[in-house]
Structure 1
Amino acid sequence: MYLEVSDVKKSYGEGGSYIQVLKGVSLQVKQGDMCVIQGTSGSGKSTLLNCIGGLDTIESGSIKVDGIEIAGMKADELSDYRRDYLGFIFQFYNLVPNLTVRENIQVCEYLTDQPLNMDELLEILGLTEHQNKFPAQLSGGQQQRCAIARALIKNPKLLLCDEPTGALDSKTSRDILILLEKINATYGTTMLIVTHNNSIKNMVDQVVIVKDGQIRKDYYNETKVPAAELEDL
């Protein structure tokens, strides 16, 4: 398995404010698969993603990516792990406002010795004609495409997506999901997509349902629906 999460526990606060967010979570994801982690607000799904991404530390358990244990890594080791293995896509795009689309992407291009081809990526994401624009000149969907390109340019082995369509209308959401599907097919990128949207689970290989800090369901889709055919986005 490419990703192995075993009995992970995570809590915040102490005394009266103590809350256990993850209560012994375990899951496995195959290399090259698209996996949705679905749950309501407060279920622990984003915390789980942040732990896998090395943004949050865990109290106990194990997280292995490509056979490498990240639990217990020091700050500089986690930084190297994120640089070498991960791409992040968030609900809020976090683009640098005074850099153009191309320059925003180049920020991450410089982090790797083997980046994807910039012009090819711009073409795939429909950004070629917008590459010299600044974020304020883009629509929400175009800004999200730029954020996706920035995450992908360093050719990450694992793409972590936290509510990637949460701030978008249904048509733009569908366009972004079609792009993620195309990227998965083109580059074989393993993807974890955190969402509360009930339709997205129909387009992926694996579905993980999180509730109250525990995994309630974990199954593979027998018949995937293409992103272009998803309903009720």
Structure 2
Amino acid sequence: MYLEVKDLKKSYGAGEGFVQVLRGITTGVEQGDMCVIQGTSGSGKSTFLNCIGGLDTIDSGSVVVDGKEIAGLSQTELSEYRRDNLGYIFQFYNLVPNLTVRENIQVCEYLTKTPLDMDELLETLGLTGHQNKFPSQLSGGQQQRCAIARALIKNPKLLLCDEPTGALDSKTSRDILVLLETINAKYGTTMLIVTHNNSIKDMVHKVIRIKDGQISKEYYNETRVPAAELEDL
């Protein structure tokens, strides 16, 4: 099991402001699997993703990624863990506005000793002709492609995606999902995808549903629908 989570608990605040967000989550994801995390707003799904990514410290429990326990790591150790293992894709691209597409990707390329080939990645993501443009000159879909390339250039073992299609129209969403599917098949990247979109669950290997900070249901898809054939995106 590439990712193993046991009895994960996370809260915020104190006194009257205390909120228990995660109430003992236990689950796992195999290496190379695409996994969707579903839940309503406030269910804890993004907090769950942040705990796995080392962005939030946990109250108790265990999070093991590729054999490494990340609970209790120092901030320096967490930074090294994120640098060496993770790629992030967010709903709102977070591109540096005064850097070109290629330069935005290079920001993360410099963080690893074993980056993917830049030109091959640009070609895979359809960005070769846009590599010298600035974010303001790109469409929303092109900006998201750039954000994906920036996350992937490190050749991460684990890709964390928080609402990667949330700001996109249905056609562009499908294009982005096809890209994620292609990346998973080509590089064997394990993916966790937080989404409100119910259709995306049909294209992945595993589905985890979180309700009120606990897993209400999880299952593997016996058959998967190709991203290009998903409806109601």
TM-score norm. by structure 1 comes to 1.00
Partner of 1:170: 170
Post-superposition offset of 1:148 = 0.1
Mapped to 2, the partners of 1:160 and 1:27 lie a distance apart of 16
Q: Aligned pairs, how many?
A: 233
Partner of 1:65: 65
Mapped to 2, the partners of 1:70 and 1:139 lie a distance apart of 37
Letter in 2 for 1:171: K
Question: Secondary structure of 2:24's match?
Answer: strand
Post-superposition offset of 1:15 = 1.2
Post-superposition offset of 1:51 = 0.2
Partner of 2:31: 31
Per-residue Cα deviation, 1:110-164 (whole angstroms, up to 9, x for no partner): 0011100000000000000000000000000000000000000010000000000
TM-score norm. by structure 2 comes to 1.00
Partner of 1:151: 151
Structural mapping, 1:73-92, within 5 Å: 73-92=73-92
Partner of 2:205: 205
Mapped to 2, the partners of 1:12 and 1:215 lie a distance apart of 19
* Percent identity (aligned): 82
Mapped to 2, the partners of 1:202 and 1:123 lie a distance apart of 27
Post-superposition offset of 1:14 = 1.1
Per-residue Cα deviation, 1:72-117 (whole angstroms, up to 9, x for no partner): 0000000000000000000010000000000000000000111000
Post-superposition offset of 1:16 = 1.2
Question: Secondary structure of 1:199's match?
Answer: helix
Mapped to 2, the partners of 1:17 and 1:172 lie a distance apart of 40
Mapped to 2, the partners of 1:17 and 1:2 lie a distance apart of 35
Partner of 2:228: 228
Post-superposition offset of 1:59 = 0.3
Mapped to 1, the partners of 2:184 and 2:197 lie a distance apart of 20
Partner of 2:21: 21
For structure 1, list consecutive stretches of 5 or more residues without a partner in the other structure. none
Mapped to 1, the partners of 2:8 and 2:103 lie a distance apart of 38
Per-residue Cα deviation, 1:37-93 (whole angstroms, up to 9, x for no partner): 001110000000000000000000000000100000000000000000000000010
Letter in 2 for 1:182: T
Question: Secondary structure of 1:143's match?
Answer: helix
Post-superposition offset of 1:214 = 0.3
Question: Secondary structure of 1:136's match?
Answer: helix
Q: Does structure 1 residue 138 correspond to structure 2 residue 130?
A: no
Letter in 2 for 1:225: V
Q: Does structure 1 residue 56 correspond to structure 2 residue 53?
A: no
Post-superposition offset of 1:17 = 1.2
Question: Secondary structure of 2:166's match?
Answer: coil
Mapped to 1, the partners of 2:48 and 2:145 lie a distance apart of 24
Question: Secondary structure of 1:123's match?
Answer: helix
